[in-house]
Chains A and B, each alone.
Chain A
């Protein structure tokens, strides 16, 4: 079974600074990769996903992520954050022949002025 590790539980960052959220997964077979965002007391919204092809994936709200197969990582980045990016971010992995999404524990991003 695959597992997902988000290496940082809390990331404080100043407005207009860059941010990187780290995600590593363990799987011996091909996977689909996802990043979701959750605002307080709301459901999850898909930011971006990697299915195949280019390893650099662009998503909504200026976020992008890079799939690195050799390092089994899928780190999320944004070059300049806004106060409105304050939220919890979840990395998720799914095997290509399976229904199940496995989630990381989440990273809380707090953007300060």
Chain B
């Protein structure tokens, strides 16, 4: 079964802690993306990566970091520098950066206690 998996589905963290969200795809897609979703605001782009070992900041990269060591994996770390990290995080992928359609994973809901 091809697709994008994100884990965990729900994540709780204490203030001041870093936390890493997982995103894996077996679609053989080159490009991967991380979005943050807040109620009433749609989706905002955090980071994207078009190839292994390369990534760029999106609109709201502050307080986040990523890595792209393997084509199928694009983990997102929410650092303690992120002022308001409680949100729903969505990972997406596409065949290449220039391809029209992005496909989304099921998301991870992060709550900071």
Contacts and interface: CB of A to CB of B under 8 A. Distances in A.
Interface of A: 4, 9, 32, 34, 36, 41-46, 49, 51, 90, 94, 99-101, 103-106
Chain A interface mostly: strand
A34 to B, nearest CB: 8
A105 B42 contact: yes
A94 B40 contact: no
Interface residues of B, number: 26
Contacts of A9: 40
Contacts, number: 49
B42 A44 contact: no
Interface of B: 4, 6, 9, 31, 40-45, 48, 50, 58, 90, 92, 97-98, 100-107, 109
Contacts of A99: 31, 48, 50, 97-98
B104 A43 contact: yes
A43 B42 contact: no
A43 B106 contact: yes
Q: Which 4 A-B pairs have the closest CB atoms?
A: A103-B42, A43-B104, A44-B104, A99-B97
